[in-house]
């Protein structure tokens, strides 16, 4: 079997490693200049929309597609759904579970990044843990200070008052709590991406409120939560 994994997540990498008897092609968007090594073939860059992806499925003889992209990668997930309609191919979404509130959490849930920028109080010291590509809505917030963390240097425009930390997770709760305390953070801004929740646990521990961005809706289709379930689904196709 030849499988295409739309990757870029921890789960996608784990799935590629687990499929020892499948010919795997992992597609990465190319947003990180030094991605971790993966088994099988790796391709970098987009497909040119749903039609381009459908053509790739055909020319490469792809027999199954697993969408294991980030929960906020709404465009590629929509393109994948349309591509398998154009070129019929079994498709599975591997989607990590959302975070849910725990005792002690102080969350404000917002629909998108612009709403998150509006939700940061004036005079706040905010920790932006949303990646490097969606910072533009905060650029006009000269009335607050922002700690920006990303794997690589962030895209501009940036808010006037900020500091940048480049780091790659996973992170420990103790280290996250120390970061919040060192920079006197009084609000955390994050996407509800699921997975490692060390920053949320640290905010909970310190009583720091969180502005949490809701996930965009996913296209219709079969989905699972874990790598083991994805492997079992693939086994069921054979």
Residue 145 lies in a domain: yes
The 10s digit of each residue's pLDDT in 58-69 is 999 999 999 999
Domain presence at residue 175: yes
Model pTM score: 0.89
Element housing 227 (H / E) = helix 227-236
Whether 43 and 141 share a structural domain? no
How crowded is residue 100: how many other Cβ atoms within 10 Å of its Cβ? 10
33 has a pLDDT exceeding 70: no
pLDDT at 191: 97
Taken in order 152, 158, 159, 161, is the CA torsion positive or negative? Answer: positive
Classify residue 22: in a domain, yes or no.
yes
Residue 102 belongs to a domain: no
206 with 163, same domain: the answer is yes
How many CB atoms neighbour CB 121 within 10 A? 13
In a domain, 74, yes or no: yes
Q: For residue 85, is pLDDT > 80? A: yes
> Is the same domain home to 91 and 186?
no
Query: Among the listed ranges 14-18, 39-43, 98-102, 182-186, which one has the minimum average pLDDT value?
Result: 39-43
- Assess whether 111 and 206 both reside in one domain: yes
- Indicate if 209 and 228 belong to the same structural domain: no
Strands (E), the chain: 2-6, 23-28, 41-44, 64-67, 91-94, 107-110, 125-129, 145-150, 162-166, 187-191, 210-213, 223-224
Write out pLDDT tens, residues 11-30. 999 999 999 899 999 999 87
Residues 12 and 82 in one domain: yes
The predicted pLDDT at position 155 comes to 86
Mean pLDDT of 208-218: 97
Reply yes or no on whether the pLDDT at 196 is more than 90.
no
* Confidence band, pLDDT 50/70/90 cuts, at residue 238: confident
Residue 195: is its pLDDT beyond 90?
A: no
Q: Which two tokens stand for residue 234?
A: 């693939």
CATH number of the domain residue 156 falls in: 3.40.50
Both 58 and 113 in one domain: the answer is no
* CATH code: domain of residue 23: 3.40.50.720
Q: How many domains does the chain have?
A: 2
pLDDT bracket for residue 32 (50, 70, 90): low
pLDDT of residue 34: 66
d(CA 39, CA 19): 9
Question: Do the domain assignments include residue 135?
Answer: yes
- Do 114 and 142 fall into the same domain? yes
For residue 30, the model assigns a pLDDT of 75
| Domain shared by 57 and 143, yes or no | no
Q: pLDDT tens for residues 99-132?
A: 999 999 999 999 999 999 999 999 999 999 999 9
- The answer to whether residues 209 and 136 belong to one domain is yes
* Structural domain containing residue 58: 2-97+216-236
Q: Are residues 156 and 179 in the same domain?
A: yes
Residues 122 and 144 in one domain: yes
């Amino acid at each position: 079997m030849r499988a295409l994994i739309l990757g870029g997540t921890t789960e996608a990498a784990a799935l590629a490693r687990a499929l020892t008897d499948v010919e795997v092609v992992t597609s990465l968007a190319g947003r990180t200049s030094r991605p971790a090594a993966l088994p099988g073939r790796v391709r970098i860059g987009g497909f040119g929309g749903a039609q381009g992806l459908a053509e790739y499925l055909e020319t490469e003889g792809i027999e199954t597609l697993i969408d294991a992209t980030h929960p906020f990668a709404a465009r590629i997930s929509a393109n994948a759904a349309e591509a398998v309609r154009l070129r019929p191919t079994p498709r599975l979404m591997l989607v990590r579970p959302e975070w849910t509130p725990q005792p002690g959490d102080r969350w404000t849930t917002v629909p998108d990044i612009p709403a998150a920028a509006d939700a940061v109080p004036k005079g706040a010291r905010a920790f932006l843990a949303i990646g490097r590509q969606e910072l533009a809505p905060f650029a006009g917030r000269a009335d607050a200070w922002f700690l920006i963390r990303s794997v690589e240097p962030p895209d501009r425009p940036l808010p006037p008052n900020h500091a940048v930390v480049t780091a790659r997770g996973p992170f420990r709760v103790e280290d996250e709590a120390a970061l919040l305390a060192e920079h006197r953070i009084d609000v955390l801004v994050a996407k509800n991406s699921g997975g490692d929740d060390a920053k949320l646990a640290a905010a909970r521990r310190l009583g720091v409120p969180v502005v949490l961005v809701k996930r965009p809706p996913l296209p219709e289709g079969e989905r699972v939560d874990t790598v083991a379930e994805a492997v079992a689904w693939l086994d069921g196709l054979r």
